[in-house]
Each structure stands twice: as structure tokens, then as C-alpha cells.
Amino acid sequence: MSGKPHLVVVPDPPPVAVEAAGAAIRCRNLCLGYDRRPALRDLDWTVRPGSLTAVVGPNGAGKSTLLKGMVGVLAPLGGSIEIGGEGRAAIGYLPQQAEIDRSFPIAVRDMAAMGLWRRVGPFGAIGRDLAPRIEAALAAVGLGDLANRPIGALSGGQMQRLLFARLLLQDARVLLLDEPFTAIDARTAADLLALIGVWHREGRTIIAVLHDLDQVRRAFPETLLVARRVVAVGPTAEVLSEANLERARLLCEGAEGR
Ligand SMILES: Nc1ncnc2c1ncn2[C@@H]1O[C@H](COP(=O)(O)OP(=O)(O)OP(=O)(O)O)[C@@H](O)[C@H]1O
């Protein structure tokens, strides 16, 4: 467990960050991968400010890789990612639960408070005036009674609620969520989906990696379907056609054989 990051600190933008005028995020001819091997290539995608988009595709399609590229954890092998507005500092990132070290000895309240790092700075003290905001965020995700509990004693669903509380406090304009509903109970998934709806109505830009296509059809107006490259992007009903899904499956199977 020691190699896993407990908190994903969003790095500063690269020195030649380009202003993506009119876009929340713009990918141009983007290629991302590991050890110089591409996992996702040829991506041209403009993410509109205030849009709510699902990223879907088979296992290994490059969905998490795309979010890691956007947040700056992974540098492009080719092409570029431009972040509009305040740049990467405006991004809130929810990594997959498996990437979070639950053995770290920290209480629920203190982990939620990390969402305030932009306001207080990495080594700043959380003043008393901010305590009500932390309590309110925990209450909003149904964790008001568990503020003093160590995070190691939370269930998977409670941990996910805590990560959403941290995002609430971060107050980010752009939210990148990697499989936010995987391995959590239906009630928690419904509560967190409702919170995403609130963020959308507030005009935030949201991109979520998801596997449940029925849920995507119900709640996400736009979809990016990937399979090591873009298969389709646009209105969800058009993107999630049988033909596109079959093409994505075949593309990923072909990539596995290489
Ligand atoms: N740290 C890594 N080092 C090397 N290869 C990696 C690494 N992370 C992912 N990959 C590879 O990159 C490809 C894309 O992985 P990615 O995690 O982006 O897929 P995904 O679409 O999110 O899949 P899933 O739905 O299974 O989570 C896969 O072939 C994967 O094995």
C-alpha cells in the first residue's frame, strides 16, 4: 500500500500552458500512454464549459488514462491538452478508489478538509471559520455523524461519499470523476448522482468515466466513446448505438492482440 498516493495533488500547469478560449478543455491530436506505448491516440476533443459528459469504452480502452492526462498526472506522448479558465488549479479529480491508500491514519473530517487546500495553501491551518463549511459538506453527503472516524473504518460507499465531500469543499469548476459509482450501494450511487446533477446545474464542467450504459443514457447528455482512440463523441443516444459499441469492442480486442 505504501506506494499508493493518499491525496492526489493536482500539479501546476506545464510551463507552456495554452489558453483554450471558449473551451473548458481542448485535446488536439492527443496521444497518451506509458513507457512510450500509446494507450489512447489521435484524440481531438473540445469540452464545452458547463457540459456533463460520460466517458465510456471497454476495459483497457484508455478512459482512466485520459483523465490522468487531463489532470496532469500523465504527460502527453504527443499532441496537447489545453485547460481553459483558471487552468489545472480549477480541476477537481476523483481517482478510482483502488488508487487511494485507506491505511493512512487520518479522520474523516481532516480528509474532507483537504478540499480546502487551494484556499488555505498546502501547509496552512484550517481556521475555525472554515469548520462549519466542513461540517456542512460532510452533512451534505450523509457523513455528519462520522466526522471523527478514521478513514480506514469506512465502508466503500462511505469512502466515496467522503471523496465527494472533499470535492464539494474544493469548489472546482471542472470535475473529473473516475468510476465514481463502482462498487458502491445503489442508495449511495443515487445520492452522489444527484450531487453531480446539482454541480451540472451550477454550471460546472463534469466528465465521468462510467461503465453502466443505462445510467449514462439516463443522466449524461453527452458521451465520449473510446477504444484506444475515439469511436464517437456527441449526444449520448447517438454515440451509444449498437454499431458504435460493437466497433469499440472490436478495436479493443484488436489492440489486445498487438
Ligand atoms: N501505469 C500503467 N503502466 C503501464 N500501462 C498502463 C498503466 N495504466 C494503464 N495501463 C495500460 O493502458 C491501457 C489503458 O488503461 P486505462 O486504465 O486507461 O483503461 P480504462 O479504459 O480506464 O480501463 P478499465 O475500464 O478497465 O478501468 C491498458 O492497456 C492498461 O493496461
Q: ∠ CA(187), CA(193), CA(194), 5° rounding?
A: 90
The answer to whether position 163 is within a domain reads yes
Query: Which amino acid residue places its CA nearest to atom 28 of ligand 1?
Result: 60
**Which residue ranges of the chain lie beneath pLDDT 50?**
1-20
Task: Please give the pLDDT value at position 90.
Answer: 83
| Top mutation candidate among 32, 65, 209, 258 for ligand 1, by most atoms within 8 Å of CB | 65
Distance 12 CA to ligand 1 centre (A): 24
Q: ipTM value, please give it.
A: 0.98
The answer to whether position 154 is within a domain reads yes
Q: With a 6 A CB cut-off, is 12 part of the ligand 1 pocket?
A: no
The answer to whether position 19 is within a domain reads no
The answer to whether position 15 is within a domain reads no
What stretches of the chain show up as alpha helix (H) in DSSP? 63-71, 108-113, 117-120, 131-140, 156-170, 186-201, 213-219, 236-239, 242-256
Instruction: Say what the pTM is.
Output: 0.88
Q: For residue 192, give Cα distances in angstroms to 58, 111, 114, 236.
A: 23, 18, 19, 20
Task: Please give the pLDDT value at position 15.
Answer: 32
Task: Please give the pLDDT value at position 86.
Answer: 78
Number of domains in the chain: 1
Task: Please give the pLDDT value at position 183.
Answer: 80
| Top mutation candidate among 32, 43, 59, 64 for ligand 1, by most atoms within 8 Å of CB | 64
The answer to whether position 193 is within a domain reads yes
Task: Please give the pLDDT value at position 104.
Answer: 83
CATH number where 241 lies? 3.40.50.300
Q: With a 6 A CB cut-off, is 227 part of the ligand 1 pocket?
A: no
Task: Please give the pLDDT value at position 184.
Answer: 87
> What pLDDT digit, counting tens, does each position of 2-18 carry?
444 444 444 443 433 34
The answer to whether position 110 is within a domain reads yes
Task: Please give the pLDDT value at position 179.
Answer: 94
Task: Please give the pLDDT value at position 6.
Answer: 43
Task: Please give the pLDDT value at position 4.
Answer: 45
Task: Please give the pLDDT value at position 18.
Answer: 41
The answer to whether position 179 is within a domain reads yes
> What pLDDT digit, counting tens, does each position of 90-129 carry?
899 999 877 777 888 899 999 999 998 776 665 556 666 7
- Domain with 144 in it: 25-254
Distance CA 203, CA 172 (A): 11
DSSP single-letter state for residue 23: -
The answer to whether position 17 is within a domain reads no
Q: For residue 112, give Cα distances in angstroms to 8, 135, 166, 236.
A: 13, 9, 4, 33
